[in-house]
């Protein structure tokens, strides 16, 4: 066996590992600095380069399952490293805090195939908490002092101030955080039928452990549930359970759960406390922050809603680890969108698939949304920049009878908007190709089969239309967008340029 050890590995731990390996009569090769390009993420450039060489089957292990998912998505690894796959693989990347890497390798050594390469590539960008520091008190033993642990907080300042906390494993701190905000009261956790079997127990246990009395409400997963019937069922359930104004609601799920719970909490007793626990990437980077809530009406999407900010957003990135690749990709469309609108560096970090720590990417998106919401909470000006790609996206969703998801529709809508903006002479640079590449590298589509007439017709019923004009988001170049009022006739031209 060859063991490559990264130079950041703690010297004492390294010695222990070397001694232990020597005792097993194995060949040891130290390749200091060799993995300089790996950023503490299993899906880093090394894994990707090796997978592209096609000579190895690569499996990854990381404490954060969303990193594994991201790595799989960009084709950097074949699958997660587990008890079964470990015995099959040729190269093993372990991205853990050094002492845990030693423990991990010791525990798994009997299973590792003879001749396999084990590479420790953890810890480069990861923020490692001091085991005795306050995070241990705040987030519990499980997330501190044991493994590398990332936690970021973004403070949002709108009509209400609140924190967006992003980190792996922090669902266990939900109860503590809520008690700080609301005291020991009652809570209703609202979630959908897909999320309930995966994450409801964890959320409820944390709330109960903190002394909060909990009831939960589960509705059938899917956009079809985002309607007035589900909304009224939730309201009736809250009333049956005698929730009072001092109690609060938790939205545990994706954008559908967040939007519907957000509206329910603001209507029940004219408003109770509200916490968002986003479990999709889309909800984490977009819908859980900024206070837009809504349900769909027969005539269209999101037609009934209010602006109502939550008291806390707690995003446990481990929950993203149970998402399908498809739903994860939907969120990437929104991440790419933030990059094109505001931040070229963010765009560059995701255009070839995620090449940074997922928590950093989510936090950056939340910061960008925070800034725009602080300027224009009620969507009268700059907040409309967030609609980049959305005019055509809404048409595509509508034409597909909502078979095409919001994220995929936004991906296609961004391509159409960039192409049209350049062709019509509104952009300084043509960013169409860059967006197409970014979409492809993130498992997102770039075109649709609907005719310009179908798209235009659907766009006419867009709720963002004001009389004969529509506000269109134009990319001047990647990282900078502007708002442009255009007439519906021009929109017709845009649909033709698709
Ligand atoms: N309020 C806003 O500012 C805003 C912004 C953008 C989008 N939205 C709304 O968000 C909705 C789309 O959000 P979405 O894509 O999160 O949809 P979603 O909530 O329907 O989630 C997508 C799917 O993933 C499942 N899921 C969620 N978390 C999971 C997990 N951790 N593991 C496994 N499966 C999981 C869900 O059950 C669902 O099947 C739309 O209704 C859109 O209008 C709102």
pLDDT band at 454 (very low <50, low <70, confident <90, very high): very high
Distance 165 CA to ligand 1 centre (A): 19
- Residue 131 has a pLDDT of 27
Return the pLDDT at 173: 86
High-pLDDT (> 70) share of the chain, %: 73
* C-alpha 424 to ligand 1 mean position (Å): 34
Please say whether the beta carbons of 313 and 165 come within 8 A. Answer: yes
Note the pLDDT of residue 270. Answer: 94
Across 36-50, 71-85, 240-254, 451-465, the highest mean pLDDT is recorded for: 240-254
Query: Which ranges constitute the DSSP H helices of 389-468?
Result: 390-399, 406-423, 432-441, 452-460
DSSP class of residue 466 equals B
Q: Do 134-323 and 2-120 have the same topology in CATH?
A: yes
Atom of ligand 1 nearest to the CA of 319: 31
- Determine the pLDDT at residue 469: 86
**For ligand 1, is residue 379 a contact (CB within 6 Å)?**
no
Question: Ligand 1 centroid to 232 CA: how many Å?
Answer: 20
Alpha carbon 344 to chain centroid distance? 19
The residue among 117, 121, 112, 148 whose CA lies nearest residue 40 is: 121
> How far apart, in whole angstroms, are the C-alpha atoms of residue 26 and residue 114?
10
CATH of domain 134-323: 3.40.50.1970
The yes-or-no verdict on residue 119 having pLDDT over 60 is no
CATH of 382-496, one of 1.20.1090.10, 3.40.50.12780, 1.10.10.10, 2.60.40.10: 1.20.1090.10
> By mean pLDDT, which of 145-149, 269-273, 446-450 is the weakest?
145-149
If DSSP codes are grouped into helix, strand and coil, which group holds residue 476? strand
Distance from Cα 333 to the centre of ligand 1, integer Å: 13
Residue 94 is predicted with a pLDDT of 60
- Three-class SS of residue 107? helix
- Cα–Cα distance, 13 to 103 (Å, whole number): 10
Quick one: 20 exposed, middle or buried, by C-beta within 10 A (0-12, 13-18, 19+)? middle
- pLDDT tens across 370-396, in order? 999 999 999 999 999 999 999 999 999
Mean pLDDT of 440-450: 95
CATH topology of domain 2-120: Rossmann fold (3.40.50)
Mean pLDDT of 198-227: 96
Residue 54 has pLDDT above 80, yes or no: no
Give the position, in ligand 1's atom list, of the atom nearest the Cα of 281: 16
The chain-wide mean pLDDT, for the chain, equals 80
| Domain definitions of the chain by residue range | 2-120, 134-323, 382-496
pLDDT digits (tens, 9 = 90+) for 151-168: 688 999 999 999 999 987
pLDDT given at position 317: 86
Instruction: Give the residue, 293 or 145, on which the prediction is more confident.
Output: 293
Q: Is ligand 1 within 6 A of the CB of residue 262?
A: no
Rounded distance between C-alpha atoms, residue 354 and residue 194, angstroms: 26
Beta bridge partners of 275: 250, 312
Q: Is the CB of 377 under 6 A from ligand 1?
A: no
Q: Which of the two residues, 321 and 368, has the higher pLDDT score?
A: 368
Mean pLDDT within 229-252: 97
Give yes or no for residue 44 having a pLDDT over 50: no
């Amino acid at each position: 066996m060859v063991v490559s050890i990264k130079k950041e590995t703690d010297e004492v731990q390294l010695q222990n590992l070397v001694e232990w390996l020597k005792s097993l009569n194995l060949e040891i090769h130290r390749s200091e600095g060799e993995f300089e390009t790996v950023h503490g993420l299993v899906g880093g450039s090394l894994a990707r380069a090796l997978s592209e060489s096609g000579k190895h089957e690569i499996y990854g292990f990381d404490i954060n399952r969303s990193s594994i998912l991201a790595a799989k998505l960009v084709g950097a690894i074949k699958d997660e490293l587990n008890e079964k796959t470990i015995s099959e693989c040729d190269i093993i990347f372990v991205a853990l805090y050094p002492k845990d890497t030693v423990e991990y390798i010791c525990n798994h050594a009997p299973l590792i195939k003879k001749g396999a390469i084990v590479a420790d590539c953890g810890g480069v960008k990861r923020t490692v908490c001091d085991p005795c520091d306050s995070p241990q008190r705040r987030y519990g033993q499980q997330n501190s002092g044991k493994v590398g642990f990332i936690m970021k907080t973004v403070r949002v300042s709108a009509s209400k101030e609140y924190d967006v906390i992003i980190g792996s494993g922090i669902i266990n701190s939900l109860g503590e955080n809520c008690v700080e905000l609301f005291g020991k009261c009652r809570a209703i956790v609202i979630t959908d039928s897909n999320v309930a079997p995966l994450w409801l127990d964890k959320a409820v246990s944390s709330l109960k452990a903190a002394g909060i009395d909990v009831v939960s409400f589960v509705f059938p997963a899917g956009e079809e549930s985002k309607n007035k019937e589900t909304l009224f069922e939730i309201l009736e359930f809250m009333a049956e359970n005698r929730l009072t104004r001092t109690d609060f609601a938790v939205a545990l799920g994706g954008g559908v759960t967040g939007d519907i719970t957000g509206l329910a909490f603001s209507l029940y007793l004219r408003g109770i406390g509200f916490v968002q626990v986003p479990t999709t990437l889309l909800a984490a980077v977009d819908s859980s922050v900024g206070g837009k809530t809504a349900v769909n009406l027969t005539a269209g999407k999101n037609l009934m809603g209010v602006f109502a900010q939550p008291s806390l957003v707690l995003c446990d990135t481990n929950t993203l680890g149970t998402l399908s690749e498809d739903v994860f990709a939907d969120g990437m469309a929104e991440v790419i969108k933030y990059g094109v609108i505001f931040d070229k560096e963010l765009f560059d970090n995701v255009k070839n698939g995620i090449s940074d720590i997922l928590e950093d990417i989510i936090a950056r998106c939340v910061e960008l949304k925070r800034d725009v919401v602080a300027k224009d909470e009620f969507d009268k000006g700059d907040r409309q920049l967030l609609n980049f790609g959305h005019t055509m996206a809404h048409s595509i969703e509508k034409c597909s009878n909502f078979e095409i998801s919001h994220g995929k529709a936004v991906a296609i809508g961004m391509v159409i908007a960039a192409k049209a903006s350049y062709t019509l002479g509104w952009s300084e640079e043509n960013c169409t190709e860059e967006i197409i590449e970014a979409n492809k590298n993130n498992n997102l589509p770039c075109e649709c089969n609907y005719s310009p007439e179908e798209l235009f017709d659907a766009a006419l019923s867009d709720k963002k239309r004001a009389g004969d004009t529509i506000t269109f988001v134009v990319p001047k170049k990647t990282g900078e967008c502007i708002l442009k009022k255009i007439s519906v006739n021009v929109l017709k031209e845009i649909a033709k340029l698709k």
